[in-house]
A and B are shown apart, each in its own frame.
Chain A
Amino acid sequence: MNYRGPYRVRADRNKPMPEIEHSSDAIVRVTRSCICGSDLHLYHGLVPDTRIGTTFGHEFIGVVEEIGDSVQNLKVGDNVLVPFNIACGKCVFCEQGLYGNCHESNPQATAVGGIFGYSHTAGGFDGGQAEYVRVPYADIGPTIIPEDMDHDDAVLLTDVVPTGYQAAEMGGIKPGDTVVVFGAGPIGIMAAKSAWLFGAGRVIVIDHIEYRLEFVKKYAQCEAYNFRSLEDPVLFIKKTTDWIGADVCIDAVGCEAAGDALQTITGRKLMLQAGSATALHWAINSVKKGGIVSIVGVYGPTGNLIPIGNVVNKGITIRANQASVKRLLPRLIEHIQAGRIDPKAIITHRIPMEEVGDAYHIFSAKLDNCIKTILIPPSARK
């Protein structure tokens, strides 16, 4: 996959094979790779320092083809799932379990750790929407896929499931809490599903894509509402929580939210702010006084229009981070094996890597009731 500019990607057979560049590297032959909602921010040209020729893809699994001299935990032939964050395991942040905030994997920015295929702002690494990918710190992130695990489940453990789960976890949900999830994309779906595991009493999902609302209603056994049919989603949340507000609000949308013309024009069209912060705005205004807003939606590095005065006046706690995939994997594998989470049910499209232009367009334009797309490289189809 080769990025050529906003809304332009193509399959490219001429990209050179990745090589071992550090003794801790592995080369992985990709067998499945997803397109993530956050890849769309790159695809739409919203992420600074996204260079032409970059290969996207931070959700992938594959087979270890080659390892560097210092790699001890993997061997050639292992089936591995590779967390989206690149973590050294040694810095003070990794030491604290903050594997999404590693300080030794991204020279270009201190505000974000290294992420596969996510621009030079996230380290400049090529990603896994390819046949082969270089995986640094191979002893730390990559995890051998349990033999009894479906590989479709495994690929969703690299980002979607941990991010959705951590969104609920950061919400500090107490038994009986009302949790509102903004966004019925893959992350929002997983956040809604995970909220029950923490004992939520009521889970409400807000979006405007009708087929996704129908899906999440069944998949996560929750309430789902189209904000286009609500006069004002914040007012609706207040009314439905006996005029108090939700205990926890989760922003699972990020910088390309619809629903507010001012945010859309200034954030997405004119790029005068780091994307459209409509969902976050609603989350802050929908949560109760003293409540918690959990943010996993992705925003750009500059700044956004949000009602920060209300955060102060309502005494809201905001928690946010990139998911710490490695920390969460043991628990999430247990949940999948026990049947509490069924990640592969969200996959709607399997598309050959060669048709990556169509795959991105289908996902971006939400055609054909698309929820989650998997790209299959030619070598994995033999």
Chain B
Amino acid sequence: MKKTAEDYRHINGWGIDSDPLDVPNYPMKRRTENDNKGMIWERPAQQPALVEVLHSNERPGISAVFGSPNPPSGLSGRLRRFAFRYSESTWTHWLALLFADRINMMEGLGDDLKRGHIPNLFAEHGGASELKYNKIGLARKLLTVGAIITVIVVVNKLRSRDDD
């Protein structure tokens, strides 16, 4: 038997937005006179580009505003510039960016050390919470790492013995 609104009385607001015509914000396609005309809108004022800003080659230039922190630099920056020669439709673009991210991670570590800052990897990885809420999981991870190291050490020793 088909259920009625009465069956859903326990749910506050059941069906209140079920009529799209009665919901003022329902996403009807709002055709405007600017449809199908390209980038013809009155553009917002341009944020001055005081740092290097890379832009997709699928647009003619930079957007009116953009984030200025962390402009491209170093080896990762060179790779990012390379990536932006390719469109968003290519794997080259995205894989180069992902690769640049990994290089950038090493650069970040180097920058920390250059500034005399030794990263607290325990805190950065959330070690305290692991210790507090996941003791068994942590023990399991440590045992796994310990086992892997032991195997590597034993294999190396056996190899060096064979070489002798």
The docked-state distance in angstroms from the alpha carbon of A104 to that of B40 is 12
Known interface pairs A51-B104, A52-B104, A175-B18; A137-B65 also in contact (CB < 8 Å): yes
Q: How far is the CB of B73 from chain A (nearest CB, A)?
A: 9
- The residue of chain B having its C-beta at the shortest distance from the C-beta of A166 within the complex is B27
Is A259 part of the binding interface, using a Cβ–Cβ cutoff of 8 Å? Answer: no
- At the interface, yes or no: B43 with Cβ under 8 Å from chain A? yes
Contact B64–A5 (Cβ < 8 Å): no
Interface residues of chain B, those whose CB is within 8 Å of chain A, are 2-3, 8, 10-18, 23-27, 29-30, 32, 34-35, 37, 39-45, 47-48, 53-56, 58-59, 61-70, 76, 80, 83-84, 88, 91, 94, 97-98, 100-102, 104-105, 107-109, 112, 119-121, 123-130, 133-134, 137
Q: Which chain A residue lies CB-closest to B44?
A: A88
Cβ contacts under 8 Å, B112 to chain A: 4
Stretch touching chain B among A6-14, A208-216, A224-232: A6-14
Q: Interface on chain B toward A: helix, strand, loop, or mixed SS?
A: loop
**Complex: A361 Cα to B61 Cα, angstroms:** 38
From B101, B102, B120, B133, A367 is in contact (CB under 8 Å) with B133
| Contact A367–B134 (Cβ < 8 Å) | yes
Chain A contacts with B in 320-338, Cβ cutoff 8 A:
324, 327-328, 330-331, 335, 338
Contact, CB under 8 Å: A340 / B12: yes
| Alpha-carbon distance between A43 and B120 when the two chains are bound, in angstroms | 17
Given contacts A95-B41, A104-B64, whether A52 and B97 have CB atoms under 8 Å apart is no
Contacts A/B (CB < 8 Å), 17 sampled: A4-B119, A4-B124, A50-B101, A53-B108, A54-B69, A92-B34, A95-B34, A105-B63, A106-B66, A108-B56, A124-B67, A124-B68, A331-B17, A331-B25, A335-B13, A359-B129, A361-B130
> With contacts A106-B66, A110-B59 known, is A51 near B24, CB below 8 A?
no
* Known contacts A10-B119, A107-B62, A123 near B67 by CB under 8 Å: yes
Instruction: State whether the Cβ of A352 lies closer than 8 Å to any Cβ in chain B.
Output: no
| B68 nearest in chain A by CB position | A21
Partner of A362, one of B8, B12, B59, B133: B133
Kindly list chain A residues whose C-beta atoms are within 8 Å of the C-beta of B25: 97, 327-328, 330-331
Asked whether, in the complex, the Cβ of B129 is within 8 Å of the Cβ of A362, the reply is yes
Q: Choose from B10, B39, B101 the contact partner of A49 (Cβ within 8 Å).
A: B101
Pair A108/B101 contact, Cβ less than 8 Å: no
Interface stretch, picked from A197-205, A246-254, A280-288, is A197-205
Judge whether B94 and A301 touch: CB under 8 Å.
Answer: yes
**Interface residues of A: mostly helix, strand, loop or mixed?**
loop
**CA of A111 to CA of B83, assembled, Å:** 16
Contact status A8-B32, CB under 8 Å? no
Question: A81 on the interface (CB 8 Å rule)?
Answer: no
- Contact partner of B101 (CB less than 8 A), chosen from A45, A111, A126, A174, is A45
8 residue pairs, one from A and one from B, having the closest CB atoms: A361-B126, A124-B67, A340-B13, A125-B67, A52-B108, A199-B18, A5-B105, A199-B15
Q: In chain A between 94 and 135, which residues have their CB closer than 8 angstroms to a CB of chain B?
A: 95-97, 103-111, 114, 120-121, 123-126
* Complex: A54 Cα to B104 Cα, angstroms: 12
Contacts A108-B54, A327-B27 given: A357-B105 contact, CB under 8 Å?
A: no
By the criterion CB–CB under 8 Å, are A367 and B69 in contact? no
Is the pair B105, A4 in contact by a Cβ cutoff of 8 Å? yes
In the complex, the chain B residue whose C-beta lies closest to that of A221 is B11
Q: CB within 8 Å of B: which of A164-216?
A: 169-170, 173-176, 196-199, 201
Write the chain B residue with the least CB distance to A202. Answer: B3
Chain B: CB-nearest residue to A18: B69
Instruction: Specify which chain A residues have a CB less than 8 angstroms from the CB of B32 in the assembled complex.
Output: 92, 95-96
Q: Which residues on B sit within 8 Å (CB–CB) of A300?
A: 94
Residue A22 is within 8 A (CB to CB) of chain B in the complex: yes
Chain A neighbourhood of B11, CB < 8 A: 196, 221
Pick from B16, B61, B80, B134: contact of A197, CB under 8 Å: B16
Assuming A120-B67, A169-B26, what are 10 further A-B pairs, CB within 8 angstroms? Answer: A52-B104, A54-B69, A92-B41, A95-B41, A97-B30, A108-B56, A110-B58, A170-B27, A221-B10, A365-B134
Pairwise interchain contact A358-B128, C-beta atoms closer than 8 A? yes
Contacts of B53 in A (CB 8 A): 107, 124
For residue A343, CB closer than 8 A to chain B, the reply is no
Determine whether the beta carbon of B91 is less than 8 Å from that of A96: no
B30 & A96 in contact (Cβ 8 Å cutoff): yes
Which residues on the B side are within 8 Å of A355 (C-beta)?
128
A23 interface contact, C-beta 8 A: yes
Which of these, A22, A196, A335, A357, contacts B65 with CB under 8 Å? Answer: A22
Q: For window 219-251 of chain A, which residues contact chain B by CB distance below 8 Å?
A: 221
Query: Which A residues are in CB contact (< 8 Å) with B30?
Result: 95-97
